[in-house]
């Protein structure tokens, strides 16, 4: 399997693997229609933080996770936010709070650890997403 589906795996600094022909469909209940022109200006950031954000954006461009857009394209844009850990590493996130005004709250509770472990105990196979930007591996429709 590993040899056959080699393109699905990334090792070290290689580009992300691609899970072909598999899409995740996300559905949001909306209160009202979301305006694609809803924009917020970037937050004020230090020069060092802006450089770090640009570094993350270039890394995502190199991995084909995001792409540059044309001048006439209308796209959904979110304000980038840099989260930094104590060890100096950082992660680029998007501030999606503006969407809260357009979507209904999801009241489904997060499962408690004992219930999750009970379900895992009965599993035949256990998998995990790759720790290196695993969220970006799945294509979303």
User: How, if at all, do strands 23-24 and 139-140 pair?
Assistant: parallel
Question: In what helix (H) or strand (E) does residue 116 lie, and over which residues does it extend?
Answer: helix 113-121
For 55-80, what is the mean pLDDT?
80
Cα Rg of the chain, angstroms: 19
Structure tokens at 102: 């357009």
What letter does residue 91 receive in the DSSP assignment?
A: E
Model confidence band, residue 41 (pLDDT cutoffs 50, 70, 90): confident
Model confidence, pTM: 0.59
Say what the pLDDT of residue 139 is.
Answer: 58
Residue 24, strand partner residues:
140
Higher-scoring residue by pLDDT: 124, 136: 124
Torsion region of 21: left, alpha or beta (phi above 0 gives left; psi -120 to 50 gives alpha): left
Residue showing tokens 């004020």? 44
Given a cut of 70, whether residue 121 has pLDDT beyond it is: yes
């Amino acid at each position: 399997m590993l040899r056959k589906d080699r393109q699905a795996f990334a090792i070290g600094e290689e580009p992300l693997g691609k899970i072909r022909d598999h899409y995740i469909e996300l559905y949001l209940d909306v209160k009202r229609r979301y305006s694609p022109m809803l924009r917020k200006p970037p937050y004020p950031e230090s020069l060092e933080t802006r450089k770090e954000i640009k570094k993350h954006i270039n890394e995502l461009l190199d991995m084909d996770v995001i792409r540059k857009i044309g001048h006439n394209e209308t796209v959904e844009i979110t304000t980038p936010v840099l989260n930094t850990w104590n060890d100096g590493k950082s992660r680029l996130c998007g501030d999606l709070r503006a969407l809260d005004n357009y979507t209904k709250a999801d009241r489904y509770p997060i499962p408690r650890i004992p219930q999750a472990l009970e379900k895992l105990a009965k599993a035949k196979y256990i998998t995990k997403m790759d720790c290196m930007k695993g969220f970006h591996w799945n294509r979303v429709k």
